[in-house]
Amino acid sequence: MIVTVVACMCLAVVKASDNAAAPPPEAGQAALWSVQTSDEAEAGVSEHCLLVSGNLSVIFVHRGEDARTMSEDLRRLHWTKKVPSEATVSGECGDLSSEVSLEWSEEREDTGETNHNLINLVITRNNRISGLTGVFARLFLHSKEFELTSSMKKNDPDSLSWPHRYCLSCQKSLYYPLYKVSSVKRNHNDDKSDDVPPEAFLVIDNLMFEVFRNSEGSETDLMSKSFSKRKWECEFHKIYSWAPYALGGCMVFLLFAMVVCFFFQSCLGCSDRPWRRLNNNNYEKL
């Protein structure tokens, strides 16, 4: 009897040690999605013109709340929609603009109906710089449908931009406020300085982007569904809206001062003209 008990205890200890040595689950691992070129997809050839990886979720907030300043405990009390790794992907790859759409379905427990959720990201290109410029989301929370949108401008402190020849790697948590589409249309603008409060926040963790992979001059292997470009860490620079006007005003003032000095240099005693030197010599003789 004692031998049996000792044997069971040894087996329990071995099992516990195996569980402790087991690797952590891959639940927090960032998902990878790719957008294929439409022409090649119809021909049965997989060419990936856009790659995106990350953990995306949407946190719904009350009026006056900001998810960027919330604690983790308070954030858990809010309704959150997470984009599953098995979400289907679609999109378009253009020369100056690309889009990626993530769709997934959820079945309601009360009625058994199926809700189709969608998050769309818009990436635009300006010369050599790419940037995340727009978000649209159609989400279902219980029996209510939410259509949310947001636009990012280059002057925003959280504006995300990078050279399109690089792979963006942002190992940070990004927060983008989402507004009701009806509220934005009613105010006839999408300026974040108005009185429209955000309905939710899009949270992106461990974001990686490779866009415009099929652009001219790109040396990326389109057949490969893996990040191959050199990485560019995300940077955020605050650009003041008045800075260009202040710089332009200083340049105009300096130019005006140079012109004034040029025309009145004789009065200031800086002229080196011959007739001026001759008059000075005659004055000395007198």
What stretches in the chain show pLDDT beneath 50?
A: 1-27, 188, 190, 275, 278, 283, 285-286
- Write out pLDDT tens, residues 21-56: 333 334 457 789 999 886 655 556 678 889 999 999
DSSP-assigned letters across all residues of 116-141: EEEEEEEEEEETTEEEEEEEEEEEEE
What does the pLDDT read at residue 20?
A: 36
The reported pLDDT for the residue numbered 13 is 37
pLDDT at position 118 is: 96
Contacts of residue 43, defined as CB under 8 A and 6 or more positions apart, other chains included, come to none
- How far lies 235's CA from each of 132, 190, 216, 240, in Å? 13, 24, 26, 16
CATH of domain 30-233: 2.40.160.110
pTM of the model: 0.69
Predicted local distance difference test score (pLDDT) of residue 238: 60
Closest CA to 2 of 186, 10, 52: 10
SS3 for 17? Answer: helix
- pLDDT at res. 64: 85
Determine the pLDDT at residue 103.
95
Contact 55, 28 (CB under 8 A): yes
